[in-house]
Amino acid sequence: YGSFIGELGGLCQEKNTATILTAIDELRKAGYTIAQEHIRIGFGQVCKLTGLRGRWQQVGMSPTIICDTGHNTGGISYIADQLRGIQADKLHIVIGMVNDKDISGVLSMLPREAVYYFTQASIPRAMPASVMRDKAAEAGLKGDVYDSVPEAYRAALHDSCDDA
């Protein structure tokens, strides 16, 4: 089922895959016929079939661009583990959060040596980027504020290309 992990890679998806396979075993025990080939095809087309995006999803190769929608300490712990395994001179991280999450807990897990691009999504619950930057500074993270996700992304992409 490596294609599922590859398409929606990441440590979090390994755990999700185990859960799915357990559910399939239970369905088989209940009398459902589920072919291995169908499982393989399903795992290989998770994004297409479900619309699920952004769990350690590689969206660019040069520079490497990873998208992850982790939004709480549980999800961010997986991201932080994976970030530690990346071989790069400098990490550029675009980040925004919503107001009702454990922001301090999330920020405490992120790498201090990265460059941050603080922004907010266009949703009512989004934490203002300037508030995010201030909270991040308390956690030892440094970066600039951007008015939109696309603007932050473009700045990170530009800066990371300058690093190459």
Q: What is the pLDDT of residues 17-67, one digit of tens each?
A: 778 888 999 999 999 999 988 888 877 777 677 666 656 666 667 777 777
Contact 93, 65 (CB under 8 A): no
Question: Does the structure show a pLDDT above 80 at 80?
Answer: yes
Mean pLDDT of the chain: 81
- The values of phi and psi at residue 59, to 5°, are -115, 0
Q: Give 13's pLDDT tier (boundaries 50, 70, 90).
A: low
- The values of phi and psi at residue 81, to 5°, are -60, -45
- Per-residue pLDDT of 105-123, as tens digits, reads 989 988 898 899 999 988 8
The interaxial angle of helices 11-29 and 73-84, nearest 10 deg, is 120
Integer angstrom CA distances of residue 34 from 5, 25, 64, 85, 144: 20, 9, 37, 36, 50
Average pLDDT over residues 77-87: 80
Reference 54, options 98, 104, 94, 2; nearest CA is 94
